[in-house]
Amino acid sequence: MPETTPTTTHFGYREVAPQEKAELVREVFSSVAGKYDVMNDLMSLGVHRLWKWDFMANSGIRTGHQVLDLAGGTGDIAALASKRVGERGRVILSDINADMLGIGRQRLEDQGICGNVEYALVNAEQLPFASGKFDAVTIAFGLRNVTDKGAALREMYRVLRPGGSVHILEFSTVRIASLKKIYDRYSFSVLPLLGRLIANDADSYRYLAESIRRHPPQEELANMMQQAGFSQVRFQDLSAGIVAIHSGLHA
C-alpha cells in the first residue's frame, strides 16, 4: 500500500499540522536565543559541556575533515570541531533559526574561531549541499525539533561521502525508573520556572521538556538510522540515558 502523508505531527504534547511545526520551533528558539547558553548551564548544572566534549572526543573527526554541524545553535559543537579539523579542514555551522545562528557566529568570532568555519541557514530536511560533500555530519540537541526526522536522516546520509559518519547527541529515554521519576519532576516543574525567571519564557521550556518525551527512544532512533541507509549504527547512553550518542556510517 502507498504511504500516506501524516495530517498532524507533535509539537511537544500538542498535535499540529506538519507545515506549522517548523515555524513554531523557530518561534521557540528566537524567544530563548539570548539566554540559551545561560539556561543550558543552569538546567544541566554545566554537565551539557561534558556531554558535548565526550560527543566530539569519540566522533573520529580529524585534521582536514569537512564537517556539517546541523542545528548548531550557539556554536558549542562547531567550536570543538574547528579545533579538530584544523586549517586544512572546514566546519559549516548551520541552523534553521537566524537568531540562534547569529549568536553562534558572534560567539565563535569572539573566541577567534573564524578561519575554518562557515555559516548556513538551512532546514535539515532539505539540505542545500551536494551529495557526498562531507566527511562527518553532527547534530546535538536538535533532531528532536525536526518535523520529519526520517527525511533529515536521509539528507544527512546523502551529503556524506562513502565512509563518512553521522553523530547525533540528543536527550533520550532514562533507563533507571527511580531516576526517571526525579527527572520528570525536575523537567516539568523546575525547567519552566527557570525559563520564566531567567528567559521570561516558561512556555518555551515547557515545550522543550515535552519534546524530549516525544523523541524516539534509543533503539527506535537506531532503527530509523538504519532505514535511512546508515550501517554500523550504534548508540551509547550518557547519564543513565538522559542523553544518548548515536553514530553510523555511510555504506
- Residue 8 pLDDT: 81
The CA angle 147-151-155, to the nearest 5 degrees, is 125
Nearest-10 crossing angle of helices 47-57, 36-44:
100
Helices (H), 135-236: 149-159, 177-185, 191-198, 202-214, 218-227
Whether 51 is covered by a domain: the verdict is: yes
Domain carrying residue 43: 23-176+205-250
Distance in Å from the first CA to the final CA of the chain: 28
- Residue 165 pLDDT: 98
Which residues of the chain carry a pLDDT beneath 50?
A: 1-3
Whether 184 is covered by a domain: the verdict is: no
- Residue 21 pLDDT: 78
CA distances from 13 to 19, 153, 221, 241 (A): 17, 23, 19, 21
- Residue 5 pLDDT: 54
Tally of domains in the chain = 1
Residues 6 or more apart whose CB falls under 8 angstroms from that of 97 comprise: 25, 26, 29, 30, 33, 73
- Residue 60 pLDDT: 97
| Full-model pTM | 0.91
Whether 135 is covered by a domain: the verdict is: yes
Q: Give the CATH number for residue 78.
A: 3.40.50.150
Whether 188 is covered by a domain: the verdict is: no
Quickly list DSSP for 114-134.
-TTEEEEE-BTTB--S-TT-E
Whether 200 is covered by a domain: the verdict is: no
- Residue 6 pLDDT: 64
- Residue 82 pLDDT: 98
Whether 14 is covered by a domain: the verdict is: no
- Residue 155 pLDDT: 98
- Residue 91 pLDDT: 98
185-198 per-residue burial string, b: 16 or more CB within 10 A, e: under 16: eebeeebbebbeee
Whether 9 is covered by a domain: the verdict is: no
Whether 15 is covered by a domain: the verdict is: no
